[in-house]
Structure 1
Amino acid sequence: MRASRNCFSALVPLGREAWPEAKKIKEVASRRGLTHAALSLAWLLAKSPVMLPIPGTRSIDHLEDNVLAAALKLEPEDLDDLG
């Protein structure tokens, strides 16, 4: 098998109360008027120019979040708050 530099990672939807990061996500999403999903996807897109998340969708609302996230530019303050 040929060596590959590809990396795949499973992602559980962010915003769950059990995660310490959930509070940060809620704060930034509320401040920006975004859903947790749109903010989380925008954050992933902002983290690396070579990584491309592949979001799934089960509804029009999810699709709209995905499209919004692709066009969204997070502010430096948002990125600092999210880590």
Structure 2
Amino acid sequence: MTDQPADDQLRGLVRQALADAGISQAEVARQLGASTKHLSHMLTGRAHLTLTWAEGILGLCGMNLVISVQPDQTRSAA
């Protein structure tokens, strides 16, 4: 696991998915009914990127959002 907070990880994965799919933030904003400013703020951490928004953005990139819950290996080893 990384030291990066989960919300930062999610933002990074969503930004990478947009880049890989070649979809602009303006196009995503238009299709999802958000302002480009608000979308930009969500992707830079100035606004909260909810799982619902992340799922919508990733869907436009041809991806699904999957959440996994696993035991913390560092705690169970103690």
Structure having the larger proportion of residues in helix? 2
TM-score normalised by L of structure 2: 0.34
